[in-house]
Amino acid sequence: MRDLKKLIILAALLITGFGVFANDNDDLQLEPYAKSAKRIGKLDFYLTYQYSFKSSGNLKHLNVDVGEQFKKGDLLASVDTDELNSELNSLLAEKAFVNEEVKRLLTLRKQNAVSASEYERNKSQSSQLKAAIIRVRQLLEAASIVAPYDGIVISRLLELGEFAAPGQTILEIAPIKDNLVINVDVLGSELRYLNYGVELPVSARDKSNSQLAKVKKLTSTPNQFTGLYNVSLAIQPYKNMVIGTLFDVELSGENQLVFRVPAHLLKVDFNQTALIKTKSDSGTVSMQRFNIVDFTQDYVLVEPNGLTTLSIIK
């Protein structure tokens, strides 16, 4: 609404143009200016991860629910591994037998009492069993989901006792440390104030938290429907935080020096630049064009064009 009022004011300046000028002049001095705006963002996780099992089986342990936090090293879920354990025991027993056979054949081979092919065949079988044992042990390790960090459960796709297929997502989780952001949409013209690492004040609309948030990610292309650019602001965890909480985000432009020109002493063209009748130190009167920085109902703020004093013919 505020931007709409400004556009109406600017349109009025376009229509009215110059005021009636007298022959006296008004000397303006540079003054500092920083434009600010408020946007609304939403608390979210920067990254989330999906976890599954490489082996199949019924869910034997499912120790967390949606919204619950956990610590690094906690067992989050596992499948029934009875069949894998039985297979491993069988492979270990078979390999022990084959290894003994390889030793016996090696002794006989040295006495030329057995063929080389029979010895090599048993030796190859021992190697194959070793590979199978490694595979089953890896499946046993992959039959459990152990928390790799302190985090929180985003979603749970299966229930205790249900069958889990290999690769099927069981849990979606997110780390808490260095992973909280406020996602906010801004105008393209505001991106120049939002370099990586810039800190902005943010305040939860439910009054639960206020802190400084740091620019973590900037999109390079606008949303195709809104034309706005998404910015992710990293914040620190706080007590009783709730994902989805709305935050007020204060955007501040860089400080710059401007001339504050009364609106009736200039003309605004359709390129949104200002035409001002000025007088130089030598007394020469001319029309000069200035880039507009901002405007209010009564004033237009313009860039200095390298000047330190602006002498305007009224």
DSSP 152-196: EEEEE---TT-EE-TT-EEEEEEE-TT-EEEEEEE-GGGGGG--T
- Give the span between the Cα atoms of 57 and 59, in whole angstroms: 6
**Positive/negative CA dihedral, 174, 175, 176, 177:** negative
Q: Is the overall model pTM greater than 0.75, yes or no?
A: no
Task: Single out the residue of 153, 235, 248 nearest to residue 204, CA to CA.
Answer: 248
- Give the span between the Cα atoms of 145 and 76, in whole angstroms: 6
Say what the alpha-carbon torsion angle 235, 238, 241, 244 is, to the nearest 10 degrees. Answer: -10
Residue carrying the six token digits 């030796």: 123
Q: Which numeric CATH code is attached to 2-34+256-313?
A: 2.40.420
Residues of the chain with CATH 2.40.420: 2-34+256-313
Task: Single out the residue of 219, 223, 227, 224 nearest to residue 191, CA to CA.
Answer: 219
- Give the span between the Cα atoms of 96 and 112, in whole angstroms: 24
Give SS3 for 42: strand
Output the furthest CA–CA distance in the chain (Å, rounded).
Answer: 125
The pLDDT, as a whole number, for residue 189 is: 75
C-alpha distance from residue 159 to each of 35, 65, 236 (Å): 53, 10, 32
Alpha-helical regions (H) of the chain: 2-16, 82-110, 116-141
Which one is the CATH code of 38-48+176-252: 2.40.30.170, 2.60.40.10, 3.40.50.300, 2.40.110.10? 2.40.30.170
pLDDT tens digits, one per residue of 233-273 = 999 999 888 999 999 999 887 778 999 999 999 988 777 78
pLDDT tens digits, one per residue of 283-307 = 889 999 998 888 888 999 999 999 9
Alpha-helical regions (H) of 116-266: 116-141
- Give the span between the Cα atoms of 80 and 161, in whole angstroms: 9
Amino acid type, 99:
N
Residues of the chain with CATH 1.10.287: 82-142
The pLDDT, as a whole number, for residue 48 is: 96
**Beta strands at 273-279 and 267-268: parallel, antiparallel or unpaired:** antiparallel
Length of the chain equals 314
Adjacency order of strands within the sheet including 69-70: 49-52, 169-175, 151-156, 69-70
The pLDDT, as a whole number, for residue 171 is: 96
- Give the span between the Cα atoms of 135 and 103, in whole angstroms: 25
- What is the C-alpha radius of gyration for the chain, rounded to an integer number of angstroms? 36
Q: Hey, which residues does 156 pair with through a beta bridge?
A: 171
Q: Which numeric CATH code is attached to 82-142?
A: 1.10.287
- Counting as low any pLDDT under 50, the low residues of the chain are 4, 8, 13-23
Q: Hey, which residues does 39 pair with through a beta bridge?
A: 249
Residues of the chain with CATH 2.40.30.170: 38-48+176-252
- Give the span between the Cα atoms of 273 and 302, in whole angstroms: 8
Task: Single out the residue of 181, 156, 195 nearest to residue 244, CA to CA.
Answer: 181
